[in-house]
Copies of this chain bind each other. A is one copy, B any other.
Amino acid sequence: MEFVVYLAGEIHSHWRDEIKERASEHRLPITFVGPMENHSRSDEIGEEIIGEQHNSIFKDEAASKINNFRTSVLMNKSDIVIALFGEKYKQWNTAMDASSAIALNKPLILIRPEHLHHPLKELSNKANVTVESVEQAMKVLRYIFDQE
């Protein structure tokens, strides 16, 4: 039995690589998917495909359509969602992806530094599990496969 895990959130660090390497080391039968990790391409994708837009709002609108399309396609294929909140940016799209996972009945692991517990308290309460590090999330994933 194979699993697909969608890795939502922060795209400027290397946490996805860390998860993939560990899963590979433990030979977990998991395929990882996620958003475009090249931040500037993610912002430019609307203009890249449908051409230059009138202003930055329309540029954002065009990009968000294609990013949401990608997220929707890949999250539909997923069995599990892991969402990581970091220090930078507003990360409202991460909150949205995490909420979509809950709505689609995809079990959700939230990763956030401890000091963000207050602003994330409502979302954390809806997640299945909240942890503070990629390593802990990895242990939760591995627990699925343990028999004893």
Q: Interface residues, chain A, CB within 8 Å of chain B?
A: 1, 3-4, 31, 33, 36-38, 41, 45, 48-50, 54-58, 60-61, 63-74, 76-77, 79-80, 85, 89-93, 95-96, 98-100, 102-105, 107, 109, 114, 116-126, 128-132, 136, 139-140, 143-144, 146-148
CB distance from A137 to the nearest CB of B (A): 9
CB neighbours (8 Å) of A77 from chain B are 1, 3, 79
Interface of chain A: mostly helix, strand, loop or mixed: helix
CB distance from A99 to the nearest CB of B (A): 3
Of B69, B96, B119, B148, the contact of A140 (CB 8 Å cutoff): B69
CB neighbours (8 Å) of A68 from chain B are 122, 125-126, 128
Measured between alpha carbons, how far is A109 from B68 in the docked complex, in Å?
12
Are A123 and B93 in contact, with the CB atoms below 8 A? yes
Measured between alpha carbons, how far is A53 from B86 in the docked complex, in Å?
24
- Measured CB to CB, the nearest residue on chain B to A105 is B76
Measured between alpha carbons, how far is A16 from B124 in the docked complex, in Å?
26
